[in-house]
Amino acid sequence: MPTIHLTTFIAAPVERVFNLSRSLKMHKASMTKFNEELVSGPMNDLVELGDEITWKAKHLFKNRVLKVKIVAINKFESFIDEQVMGDFKMMKHEHHFKPIENGVFMIDFFHFESPYGNMGK
């Protein structure tokens, strides 16, 4: 199964980074070039355990819909969302937060399986 691993240093307190990472408004702002829209989700801006969020965006020349569920949250340490419905055969996105002296390492693991066999790889 393919995995994308990104590690980013952010010079801010872990609480701020954790909460901004769970912000639907921040996610939407970061995806403006894809015209990503929130189709459905929680009334609160910050996602919580059990929330289901549906996004619509144009990626790879096609309008796509992705519905994810927040399946785990460990406050200020990690949270995980998994695909409920969408183009992937499987998608799991792990967000980890490691505080250090002058900021936070935000570590993302994006695990996925393409539905298009060898062509998708």
CATH number of the domain where residue 22 is located: 3.30.530.20
What is the number of domains present in the chain? Answer: 1
pLDDT of 92 reads 98
Largest Cα–Cα separation, the chain: 44
Averaged pLDDT for residues 92-96: 98
Range of the domain at 86: 3-120
Which string of b and e fits 99-108 if b means at least 16 CB within 10 Å?
eeeebbebee
pTM for the whole structure = 0.89
CA–CA separation, 57 and 39 (whole Å): 10
pLDDT of 75 reads 97
Q: Give strand pairing partners of 6.
A: 108
Residue-wise pLDDT tens digits, 15-60: 999 999 999 999 888 888 778 888 888 878 999 999 999 999 887 7
pLDDT at 120 over 80: no
CA–CA separation, 3 and 82 (whole Å): 14
